Amino acid sequence: MSSAKETQARAVEWLLERRDRGDWSVQDQERLDAWLAQSPSHLVAYWRAEDGWSRTELLSAFRTTMRPERGAQVAGISLRHALARITAVLAVVICGAAAAYYTLGMREQVYATGIGGKRSIVLADGSRIDLNTDTTVRARFGNGTRLVTVDKGEAYFQVKHDPGHPFVVTAAGDRIVDLGTKFIVRNNADRLEVSLLEGRARFEPEDGARGGAKVLVPGDVVIATPTSIATKRKTLKAVANELGWQRGVVVFDNTSLSDAVSELNRYNRKKLIVADSSVARMTIVGTFPVNDIALVLDAAKDVYGLHVRDDRDEAVISR
Amino acid sequence: MAANAHDLKMWFVCEVLPLEASLMQFLRRSWPRREDVADLRQDIYVRVYEAARKQIPRPAKPFVFAVARNLLIDRLRHERIIPIDGVSDLDAIEVAADEPGPDRNAIARDALRRLQAAMERLPPRCRQAVILRQVEGLSRREIALRMGISEKTVKCHLNDGAGLLIDMLHDIDSDLGSKP
């Protein structure tokens, strides 16, 4: 065997182990990361294996169109016939997601909300996803995997745990693997935040460069950017406050006015603008309806004695 | 500026790997020993990756082929066994300008055709194991029961099958190589 073939065989073994094993642990991930870090040859072989294998995901589309009854017939599946049927309905193949999955339009469900929108989805397995404002997620089920991608926005996951079929959420290339869990994923441009409310989940960075995988416990908040990953601890109450939007409110607890305003702006077309930095640093406490900008402006005027210029598309707050 | 890990991977997967079929064709044409080409390809990928770590070269195609040509020239000098026309062939290599890509439907159909061809070329036992896993979503244990073999053998069939598929899906002309 040539050395390239050997490296490839190893890469394939790692890849299938990682995909197949329900009990893939942090230690396993560390061993894989160490192997990948050992040599660029390992890394490119792994990428190549991942890419090649992802193309066979097309096969899982057969599952809905045909289902061999008995083992004896399996080898005799008419690939040609089924492929012809799939080709007829197949619309889009894109190269884009972090794993460069070839995505089948027909198997993938896209759920989205607009600005100010909210939506609850109950998946076939009983898991539930609540979408907050301006959010897009894609769900792909089947082939023993449950995969949801958060393209943008914020989603709250309540997962029905099933050790044989891991529930995996990807966002900005990083992966969250449920170990029996309620968690929030918030994906803004260049900043991914994962907060765990209940149970356990494993956070797996796309690459080893920003650190290894870690298991999250309730109250953990992971903040990942393209260059760094940090974990901070919050009280459960603080994490639960982040779910205020489910009741249509945001909860501010000594939040700076600039953070509060950018939070409220997620929900409304009319944007609030803080005009000067001394105002931006003021802190605010209280619970506000997400869509009642007038209330915030009144508070700014009456409680903080600030000046408000209220136009149709925006409102500017200043001294 | 150094490329970030995510961009680097996306670039490699989306722009370098799709060149593999033409890269392999080039290597087979230019190098006298067919059994070496997998190693050459791997070395080229490593060199491409190392260079891209500093800065991602765009467009990818001329860069990848320049790396390939340099690597072959190094090896030819080193081995000193190749007739001179082997080398002159290297200069003849054309790197076609990128044409407008085919539409997405065509790409999708093409991906399916390749997959179909690759599946048909797998050894029967490997194919069966891959189908049970990828089509039916069975676990190793379930596949072992269905096929009446041990889990360990299932693992071998899946690893072999995956390895062959990965080669063929990048380059359908790849040798079925060391038989599983």
Residue A96 in any domain: the answer is no
Q: What average pLDDT does range A96-103 have in this prediction? A: 31
- pLDDT of res. A207: 75
Residues B109, B84 share a domain: no
Residue A125 in any domain: the answer is yes
Which domain covers residue A314, as residue numbers? Answer: 248-318
Is the CB of B170 less than 8 angstroms away from the CB of A91? no
Q: Does A20 touch chain B (CB under 8 A)?
A: yes
- pLDDT of res. B150: 94
Q: What average pLDDT does range A46-52 have in this prediction? A: 91
- Tell me how many domains chain B contains: 2
- Chain B residues with CB under 8 Å of A75 CB are 124, 127-128, 131
* Dist CA B162 CA B170 (whole Å): 12
Cα–Cα separations (whole angstroms), residue A243 to A139, B48, B130: 22, 46, 42
Residues A132, A77 share a domain: no
Query: Which of B92, B124, B146 represents a domain boundary (last residue)?
Result: B92
Residues A212, A195 share a domain: yes
Residues A195, A127 share a domain: yes
* Dist CA B67 CA A155 (whole Å): 44
Reference A300, options A271, A262, A251, A280; nearest CA is A280
| Nearest Cβ partner for B165 among A1, A56, A77 | A56
Q: Does A48 touch chain B (CB under 8 A)?
A: yes
Residue A116 amino acid letter? G
When pLDDT is cut at 50, 70 and 90, the band that residue A98 belongs to is: very low
- Does residue A168 sit in helix, strand or coil? strand
CA distance B105 to chain A (A): 6
- pLDDT of res. B172: 72
pLDDT, tens digit, 9 for 90 and up, residues A75-92: 344 455 445 444 433 322
B168: nearest CA partner in chain A = A52
Query: Which string of b and e fits B100-135 if b means at least 16 CB within 10 Å?
Result: eeeeeeebbbebbebbbebbeebeebbbbbbbbbbb
Mean pLDDT across chain A: 78
- pLDDT of res. A68: 37
Q: Does A1 touch chain B (CB under 8 A)?
A: yes
Mean pLDDT across chain B: 79
Reference A57, options A129, A143, A117, A163; nearest CA is A143
- pLDDT of res. B85: 45
Residues B113, B42 share a domain: no
Q: Which of A7, A15, A16 best tests the B interface by mutation, with the highest count of B CBs <10 A?
A: A16
Residues B87, B127 share a domain: no
- Chain B residues with CB under 8 Å of A91 CB are 104-105, 108
- Tell me how many domains chain A contains: 3
ipTM: 0.84
pLDDT, tens digit, 9 for 90 and up, residues B17-70: 989 989 998 998 888 888 889 999 999 999 999 999 998 998 899 999 999 999
When pLDDT is cut at 50, 70 and 90, the band that residue A15 belongs to is: very high
Higher-pLDDT residue of A289, B47: B47
Which domain covers residue B86, as residue numbers? Answer: 5-92
Range name among A115-124, B46-55, B168-177 with the lowest pLDDT average: B168-177
Residues A211, A121 share a domain: yes
- pLDDT of res. B95: 46
Query: Which of A212, A242, A272 represents a domain boundary (last residue)?
Result: A242
Residue/partner pairs of B24-27 with CB below 8 Å, 24 or more apart: B24/B171, B24/B173, B24/B174, B25/B173, B26/B65, B26/B68, B26/B93, B27/B68, B27/B72
- Indicate which CATH number applies to the domain containing B152: 1.10.10.10
| Nearest Cβ partner for A207 among B6, B134, B166 | B6
Answer yes or no: is pLDDT of B142 > 80. yes
Q: Which of 209-248 (A) contact B at CB < 8 A?
A: 209-210, 226-227
Determine contact, residues A251/A244, Cβ cutoff 8 Å.
yes
| Nearest Cβ partner for B5 among A57, A100, A207 | A207
Q: Position of tokens 């407008």?
A: B100
Answer yes or no: is pLDDT of B90 > 60. no
| Nearest Cβ partner for A40 among B13, B46, B159 | B46
Higher-pLDDT residue of A225, B97: A225
pLDDT, tens digit, 9 for 90 and up, residues A192-220: 999 998 888 888 888 777 877 888 888 89
* Dist CA A47 CA B64 (whole Å): 17
- pLDDT of res. B68: 94
Residues A206, A116 share a domain: yes
* Dist CA B66 CA B89 (whole Å): 14
Q: Which of B135, B147, B159, B172 best tests the A interface by mutation, with the highest count of A CBs <10 A?
A: B135
Residues forming beta bridges with residue A121, ordered by sequence position: A129
In chain B, what's the furthest Cα-to-Cα distance?
Answer: 57
- Chain A residues with CB under 8 Å of B107 CB are 93
- pLDDT of res. A1: 55
B43: nearest CA partner in chain A = A41
Residues B77, B117 share a domain: no
